[in-house]
Amino acid sequence: GRVVVGTDGSPTARHATEWAAAVAKSRSVPLLLVSVVSPQSTIARVSRSAEEHLAEAVAEAERLLETESATMRESNPALTLETAVLVGSPAEVLVSATRDAELVVVGARGQSASFGVRNLGGFSDAVATHAEGPVADLVPVAVRAVEQVSAPALAHPRDIGDLVAQPSGHQDAAG
């Protein structure tokens, strides 16, 4: 098994990646860092084809993974790190990763999500709801209701008390 984490380069995704790296390191398993390109986000303009937009989005995702993996390797030199750019619905791609991963880690908000999804966690809820394996859904505890913050308040991975991580398929004490 391995720990899988999706990233879009957002501050929340970076914190989820750091948390996932700490878990992978503690379990002595590889970390798979995934960036998902949605075909719907590459709708063609008049001057370009859908294939050109998709190729551009994949290249951008590859650059993002190069940057993120370099940062992870600096801070975790002993960690076995793999990267993958996948094309599809981000939620569906990460749900499929739950089939053979020890753990899939998602942040509650990403930079490509709409305002409502970022604040309500629609993406991470979709992954947790349809997962076939364990999912850690990292939710910022302190969220400013009115103003959108550029770096959501997510704790460092070792400050687990400041995070909510709920495995899919399990109810909390209130449920």
DSSP designation for 43: P
**Angle at CA of residue 87, ends 83 and 90, nearest 5°:** 85
Tokens encoding 9: 């380069």
Check: CB of residue 10 under 8 Å from CB of residue 154: no
Would you give per-residue pLDDT tens digits along the chain (175 residues)? 999 999 998 888 888 999 999 999 999 999 999 999 987 655 545 446 778 888 889 999 999 999 999 999 999 999 999 999 999 988 888 888 888 899 999 886 544 444 444 444 577 778 888 888 888 888 665 433 333 333 334 344 443 333 334 344 443 433 3
Going from the C-alpha of 39 to that of each of 49, 102, 112, the distances in angstroms are 12, 28, 13
Alpha-helical (H) ranges within 8-89 are: 11-27, 50-75
* Torsion 38-112-25-139 (CA) sign: negative
- Angstrom distances, CA of residue 173 to CA of 93, 132, 166, 170: 29, 21, 11, 10
110 and 154 in contact (C-beta within 8 Å)?
Answer: no
